[in-house]
Amino acid sequence: MESTKRDRDRDRDRLHTLRRPRRPRILHCVAITAVSLLALVGILVLVFWLVVRPSLLRCSVEKAHLQGFNVTDNALSATFNLTLEVHNPNRKVAVYFDRVEVAVWYDGQMLALNEVAPFYQPRRDVRMLKVDLVARSRPLLSSVETSLKQDRSAGEAAVEVRMRAMVRFKVGLLKTDDYTLRAYCLPVLVRFSSSVTQFQKVYCDVYI
Ligand SMILES: *[C@@H]1O[C@H](CO)[C@@H](O)[C@H](O)[C@H]1NC(C)=O
Ligand SMILES: *[C@@H]1O[C@H](CO)[C@@H](O)[C@H](O)[C@H]1NC(C)=O
């Protein structure tokens, strides 16, 4: 009897000593590996960032010219001649603009839209994009029509210019996947009288 109880105790002890230390040791190992990997990735990202020093692209509206404005029967006809500036301040990052759309918005309604031909922007480059947006008898929300007519009497309208582009970044030989770049520029003041030509540059909020 004595011996069987001792045997049982020993078996139980062995069971414990066999089972328990094993899992913590594996967990420990996994944890250390994970932490080391994370630290390594962190250091690589940091080094990459320090070497590349990426900074955001800058956009602005340099010119906005309104031509042929005509609101008749709740529909707008007009041409917006825009000049946008896209500035890539990066020393190590070049940008592919694969698809670029520019739109003029007013009071929650899009008035006109056009595309800009794809282009490649090298490092430290400033590029002017000229784009003409034409509205041809575009139906207007009645609130928009009312506001536009009021603006017309006042001589100028504050519109919003939006740009959306699919971009890829290039660092050395590395190219990233597609990103969507969005720029919101407001208020862009357009004048109804073509005799007034001065224009106040508008900086855009850029998001990627
Ligand atoms: C404005 O548009 C209407 C309809 O498209 C047209 O009949 C009219 O001649 C236009 N007015 C001007 C000043 O262009
Ligand atoms: C504005 O755009 C229209 C349509 O593309 C063009 O015919 C016109 O010459 C442009 N005007 C200016 C001032 O660039």
The overall pTM is greater than 0.85? no
Instruction: Note whether 9 and 48 are same-domain residues.
Output: yes
| Nearest one of 142, 1, 161, 182 to 66, comparing CA atoms | 161
Instruction: Note whether 12 and 47 are same-domain residues.
Output: yes
Question: Closest ligand to 137 CA?
Answer: 1
Instruction: Note whether 41 and 130 are same-domain residues.
Output: no
Give the 3-state secondary structure percentages of the chain, helix then strand then coil, rounded to 5. 30, 50, 20
CA distance 107 to 31: 55
70 Cα: distance to centroid of ligand 1 (angstroms):
6
Domain that holds residue 145: 58-207
Instruction: Note whether 73 and 170 are same-domain residues.
Output: yes
Instruction: Note whether 199 and 147 are same-domain residues.
Output: yes
- How many structural domains comprise the chain? 2
Say if residue 182's pLDDT is above 60. yes
Instruction: Note whether 10 and 92 are same-domain residues.
Output: no
52, 74, 90 - which closes a domain = 52
Q: Does the CB atom of residue 83 touch ligand 2 within 6 A?
A: no
pLDDT per position as a tens digit, 85-97: 999 999 889 999 9
Say if residue 205's pLDDT is above 70. yes
pLDDT per position as a tens digit, 119-173: 999 999 999 999 999 999 999 999 999 999 999 999 899 999 999 999 999 988 8
| Residue 200 Cα to chain centre, angstroms | 24
pLDDT per position as a tens digit, 45-101: 887 777 766 788 999 999 999 999 999 989 999 999 999 999 999 988 999 999 999
Take atom 11 of ligand 1 and give the residue whose Cα is closest.
70
Q: Does the CB atom of residue 114 touch ligand 2 within 6 A?
A: no
Instruction: Note whether 193 and 134 are same-domain residues.
Output: yes
Q: Does the CB atom of residue 77 touch ligand 1 within 6 A?
A: yes
DSSP structure class, residue 107: T
